[in-house]
Amino acid sequence: MPSRPRAPGYPLRVSTPRPPVALYVHLPFCVARCPYCDFVVYAGADARGPRARTERLYEAVGRELELRADALDERFGRPGAAGPAGPADAASDAAAPREPLRSVYFGGGTPSLVPGEWLERLMAIVRARFGVAADAEVTLEANPGPDERGDLAAFRRAGVTRISFGAQSLDAGELRRLGRRHSPQDVATAVAGARAAGIGSINLDLLYDLPGQSVATWESTLRAALALAPDHLSLYALTLDDPDEEGITGPQGDHLPTPPGARRWRDRARLEQDDDLAAYQYRLATDLLAADGWRGYEISNWARPGHESRHNLTYWEREPYEAVGPGAHAFDGIVRRWNAAAMEPYLAALLAGEGPVRAASLPPGGHEVLTPQAAAAERVILALRLDRGVAESAAAQPPLSAVRDWAESAGLLERIEVEGEPRLHLTTRGRLLSNELFARLI
């Protein structure tokens, strides 16, 4: 087959599909759905009680893991074994053993609702079929409330090395306005429990630009979070998107429709948001955390040395990853694939029949083949999200070459040196205005 023509002005970069180095597992259940949340979440009776669909979903996720592993075995060979024969230009890659996973991430939803024995069963499949490196990072997302944080000791026994608590705020009034079910003290108790269970790396998610949030309450939350001595902090401006308007909630869509009550909450909340206040809050966090020795290694993420999220770095560095569960996304270096968010079609495909796993079929969803232009833009955008930025040589090539002079004159980009290599990265102002820069790169 002839090679794809090169797009004018874009350097030719040959890519081939690659096996995953990371795995994302989406477990979508929550006790209650927060009004601002756009993740694929099933709450209430779906998550607890006689009509709960948790057991069926966990079974289906296990079957999808098997099917995805079968497909990877066929394309790349089993982990630790030589790969299948491939085309001549990929022969060296095909002969190499398939690398075990560097990271596994259980996201949601509230994955800490999963019983410890089910997590062990899923991890057993992952180890047997994908391979997991001895030093792999295994993350579980959790809510800090007493009835939602789960059995932390059981999670550690199943292999969890890192836990991410959805604290969101350490102000009681803000938590109530967000519809959260935990208190500030619950966060402290959850962190202490994770430490006692032997989980070696702890993240706290926090939100700013909240309805009714002041600079003072944001600073108080940051200082209270630091007092708990976590290893990682993820700080996100509250984003109130409309997945229905974006057209991503249909039968093949990776999002669920927004409930009417949540839509009304968001309409009110938007009226209380303030871009200038959000920028001030971000700068305050940047200064406070830098003074305390934290590294802001990504636009929204800070870590103590050695505690950067290896799984999320897989995304930002455009490494290949596999994914299972409703709404989950995967990437092989060329094609981005997603599962549809709807629960019933997912269960119906994977739990069809009473036969062996192979009697099941993969769930519905979609895929996108990235064009050379889209891949080039994505590569630069993701690299600029990181504090080490991009090699200066990349700035002489599209798409960055077209906007570099503007970005530097506007104070968005600056030259740095990393291990003797000249690079460009975003200034703090550049991080605040990154969306405008990124839009010019697409």
Average pLDDT over residues 418-436: 95
Give the tens place of pLDDT for each residue, 166-224: 999 999 999 999 999 999 999 999 999 999 999 999 999 999 999 999 999 999 999 99
pLDDT at 358 over 90: no
Least confident range from 153-157, 174-178, 418-422, 434-438: namely 418-422
Indicate the pTM of the whole model. Answer: 0.92
Q: Which residues, listed in sequence order, are joined to residue 101 by a DSSP beta bridge?
A: 132
The pLDDT tens digits for 384-405 are 999 999 999 888 899 999 999 9
The residue among 238, 223, 222, 119 whose CA lies nearest residue 180 is 238
Residue 332 has pLDDT above 80, yes or no: yes
pLDDT at position 5 is 29
Token code pair at residue 118: 């089910």
Tokens encoding 188: 């402290």
- CA distances for 66 relative to 119, 123, 181, 361, 363, angstroms: 15, 12, 35, 11, 13
For residue 81, what pLDDT is reported? 58
What pLDDT band is residue 80 in, cutting at 50, 70 and 90?
A: confident
State the first-to-last Cα distance of the chain, in angstroms, to the nearest integer. Answer: 29
pLDDT tier at 353, thresholds 50, 70, 90: low
Degrees (nearest 5) of the Cα angle 396, 397, 398?
A: 135
What is the arithmetic mean of pLDDT over 281-285? 98
Distance CA 170, CA 188 (A): 9
Q: Is residue 315's pLDDT more than 70? A: yes
DSSP assignments along 306-339, one per residue: T-S-HHHHHHHTT--EEEESTT-EEE-SSEEEEE
Residue 355 clears pLDDT 70, i.e. is over it: no
Confidence class of residue 296 from pLDDT cuts 50, 70 and 90? Answer: very high
Tell me the C-alpha distance between 371 and 390, whole Å: 21
- Between β-strands 22-26 and 101-107, what pairing exists: parallel, antiparallel or unpaired? parallel
Residue 85: is its pLDDT beyond 60? no
Question: Over 50: is that where the pLDDT of 140 sits?
Answer: yes
Q: What is the pLDDT of residue 359?
A: 63
**pLDDT value for 12:** 39
How far apart (Å, rounded) are the C-alpha atoms in residues 239 and 246? 14
HSE at residue 429, side-chain half, CA atoms within 13 A, is 8
What is the model's pLDDT at position 11?
40
pLDDT band for 16, please (50, 70, 90 cuts). confident
Convert the pLDDT of each residue in 19-73 to its tens digit: 999 999 999 999 999 999 999 999 999 999 999 999 999 999 999 999 999 999 9
Is 200 in a helix, a strand, or coil? coil
pLDDT of residue 378: 96
Give per-residue burial for 55-72: e unless 16+ CB within 10 Å, then b. Answer: eebbebbbbbbbbbbeeb
Residue tagged 């019933």 (tokens): 344
Is residue 93 scored above 60 in pLDDT? no
Q: How confident is the model at residue 86 (pLDDT cuts 50, 70, 90)?
A: very low
- If residue 237 lies in a helix (H) or strand (E), which one and from where to where? strand 232-237
Percent of the chain with pLDDT over 90: 86
Check pLDDT > 50 for residue 91. no
